[in-house]
Amino acid sequence: MASPAFSICVYCGSRPGENPAFAQAAQAVGQWIGEHGGQLVYGGGRGGLMGVVAEATRLAGGRVVGVIPQALVDKELANRQCDELHIVQTMHERKAMMAERSDAFVALPGGIGTFEELFEVWTWRQLGYHGKPLGLLNVAGYYNGLLAFLRTSVASGFMGDWQMELLQADMSAEPLLRNLVQASGPDQAPTPLRSVI
């Protein structure tokens, strides 16, 4: 099998959420990744939006790499249909492997696990630990409140505009994914370290 054209890490809920638009967006993301010869890297579960994006990627011909801690194998119902399923011991190992295997990151609707993963990889980017692009898929306005709060943080002097600019937000999957893939690649340099104080 040929190497994937790109590898996108998707953070999303292990639950489906109440709005059908959430699952529809997860399906669209997976389908786009598969149809464009890409690879999905995700949390390895088969429930909720995680399962939707993985199955859509697989059915569209993409590779699926799951990374899940042993403690969550039963709780999140590990997806045994992944092309690669890595069972690790800790969340730290999970996140490190997912980041290492990815060219870009995108967060779909989810809960505190999704938030934590996004904010950690965003923090790594602002500190110059990697140069990979980050995206937020704001399905049905799910992240409107978060984006407003982040702008409040900028206005209050706790963040800079340049930090906000590291996170691309869009309400549609296709343009966001296209932009992330175009911005990724081996020539993508880490963000120069700036003062965050």
pLDDT digits (tens, 9 = 90+) for 79-107: 999 999 999 999 999 999 999 999 999 99
How many Å separate Cα 194 from the centre of its chain? 24
**CA triplet 68, 72, 74: central angle to 5 degrees?**
115
**Residue range 8-30: average pLDDT?**
97
**Residue range 180-185: average pLDDT?**
91
Residue 24 has pLDDT above 80, yes or no: yes
**Residue range 43-65: average pLDDT?**
96
Give the β-pairing of 39-42 and 63-69.
parallel
Name the domain count of the chain.
1
Here the CATH number for the domain that contains residue 167 is: 3.40.50.450
- Residue 192 is assigned to a structural domain of this protein: no
- Residue 194 is assigned to a structural domain of this protein: no
DSSP code at position 176 = H
- Global pTM value: 0.92
- Indicate the burial class of 20 (C-beta count within 10 angstroms; 0-12, 13-18, 19 or more): exposed
- Residue 168 is assigned to a structural domain of this protein: yes
Residue-number span of the structural domain to which 169 is assigned: 7-182
- Residue 191 is assigned to a structural domain of this protein: no
Amino acid symbol at 178: R
**Residue range 143-149: average pLDDT?**
98
Give the β-pairing of 39-42 and 134-137.
unpaired
